[in-house]
Amino acid sequence: MENRGRAKRDASSRKTSSGNGQFDRRTLLRAGALAAGMAGMGAGIARAAESIGADAPDWMKTPGRSFSTYGMPSHWQEKVQRTVAFLPGRPGTGTSRTPLHLLEGTITPNGLHFERHHNGVPDIDPSRHELVIHGLVKRPLAFSIETLMRYPMESQIHFVECSGNSGSFNQPEPQQATAGGLNGLLSCSEWSGVRLATLLQEAEPAREAKWVVAEGADAAAMSRSVPLEKCLDDAMIALYQNGEAIRPEQGYPMRLLLPGFEGNMNVKWLRRLKVMDQPVNARDETSHYTELMPGGKARQYMFLQGVKSAIIKPSFGMNMKGPGFYEVSGLAWSGAGRVSKVEVSSDAGKSWTPASLAAPVLSKALTRFRLAWQWDGRPVTLMSRATDEKGEVQPTRAAWVSQYSPVQFYHFNGIQGCRIEADGTVKHVYV
């Protein structure tokens, strides 16, 4: 390493892993100070005979465009798009993925939240849509949107992850796809709405009530069984997403939000909650989202999304521009609570360096981790490993795969890796 000046610093702030470069959690702070020190050095250059416009870009020499009623991203960002995949001839059945590799921070822009639809996005007239609560309750009730707007609201930042996210990791060979392509059935938003417990309490569930079957108003009438316990805990009837009315792709005019539970259960276009004494073996909790094990038995009602992380920078498709400084960064999350630790290894897991977790670190929300890194130009494999506040640690891919039948791909949360070759190309690899 050529950073001789750094040798004096506190040894706890940096760790070297097997000669493939140096991790340093403090580099960015110093880099900021350096930039500040350099500011103003160019002042005082003489320009007596010409206007400053001679050196100015065009956009500084003519008025910009007027206001807009609803802003759009810069046209320079037109490649920042979801990746859409649907069944042949069935444009409403499939997914679109959040381009995680083209975004920063932890909040997903509303237009880029991942989608999973079973038979298209319905165009629901909010004045003709109600949420109905019935079944084992004392008082069956219907709530119009207008009515719900009068209830006390709360806002919570939570991720939603499709149960099939990262499903390709069950394949024998690693798929060469971007971080969004591999892990993009994952998004995070600030959701605002009414706590479901408030509405359920008004309907008064009976003593024998144990489950709530949620149903959407889409053309699949998608339906899932949810434990009553969850509905009385942190479940929300979400009406707003990042401050604006929830998008049609996310369930306009309302969706069920079950923080930390698999995406499919967060029923969109929510229209009905039937309180029951049993779950119903709905198609999407038997055919799908169950975990087939090697002996032929399957686990059912696995709701919590496991602790998980992925390095986003660098990842496949983001080739390195020679040795030197890079920020390794990525996302970590857990359906069980807060992420307590993310570690990065550059030596196949022999040693691990803790990354810094960017505040705020919220329960059941995406957490951004960062680690400054001097790459020495030699081939290296990077991997990340998350631990949550319950002490659960992300398993290796091999440990995850060994639990299941070869066709099982739901709920993958194993450790992921990327290989950087000497020429700077970045590949997805199993570690």
Partner 1 sequence: MSMFRFGILFPATALCLIASVGQAQAQHPNLGRPLTDDEVRKLDITVAPDGNGLPAGSGSVSAGAKVYAEKCQSCHGAKGQGGPMDQLTGGIGTLASAKPVKTPVSYWPSATTIFDYVRRAMPLQSPESLTDDEVYAVTAYLLSIDKVVPEDAVLDAKSLSQVKMPNRDGFVRWWPVPKR
Q: Which of 103, 112, 124, 141 binds partner 1 (CB under 8 A)?
A: 141
Buried b (16+ CB within 10 A) or exposed e, 84-119: eeeeeeeeebebbbbbbbbbeebebebebbbbbbbe
Q: Smaller CB distance to partner 1: residue 64 or 88?
A: 88
Residue 332 to residue 361: CA distance in whole angstroms: 10
Is residue 172 part of the contact set for partner 1 (CB under 8 A)?
no
Cβ-based nearer residue to partner 1, 376 or 389 = 389
Residue 181 parent element (H or E):
helix 179-183
Residues between 86 and 115 with contacts to partner 1, criterion CB under 8 A: 87-90, 93
| Contact flag: residue 280 with partner 1 (CB under 8 A) | yes
* Distance in angstroms (rounded) separating the CA atoms of residues 374 and 379: 13
Q: Tell me, what amino acid is at 173? A: E
9 makes contact with partner 1 (CB under 8 A)? no
Residue of 332, 408, 321 whose CA lies nearest to 370: 332
Q: Does 422 bind partner 1 (CB under 8 A)?
A: no
- Residue range at the interface with partner 1 (CB under 8 A); choices 6-14, 278-286, 344-352, 355-363: 278-286
Does 390 engage in binding with partner 1 (CB under 8 A)?
no
Tell me the sheet residues that pair with 356.
Answer: 370
Cβ proximity to partner 1, 104 vs 208, nearer residue: 208
Pick the piece of the chain touching partner 1 (CB under 8 A) from 26-34, 198-206, 252-260, 308-316: 198-206
Helix (H, G, I), strand (E, B) or coil at 284: helix
Closer CB to partner 1, residue 61 or residue 138? 138
Residue of 30, 299, 313, 378 interacting with partner 1 (CB under 8 A)? 299
Separation of alpha carbons 62 and 161, rounded Å:
45
Residue 321 DSSP class: -
From 299, 312, 378, select the one nearest 346 (Cα to Cα): 378
CA angle 377, 344, 333 (to 5 degrees): 135
Which residue from 144, 168, 351, 425 is in contact with partner 1, where contact means CB under 8 A? 144
298 lies in the binding site for partner 1 (CB under 8 A): yes
Q: Helix, strand or coil for residue 238?
A: strand
Give the Cα separation of 172 and 82 in Å (integer). 26
| 263 binds partner 1 per the rule CB under 8 A | no
Site residue total, partner 1 (CB under 8 A): 67
Sites of contact with partner 1 (CB under 8 A)? 87-90, 93, 118-119, 130, 132-135, 138-144, 147, 150-152, 198-199, 201-207, 209, 213, 215, 219-223, 227, 272, 274, 276, 278, 280-283, 286-287, 290, 292, 294-304, 405-407
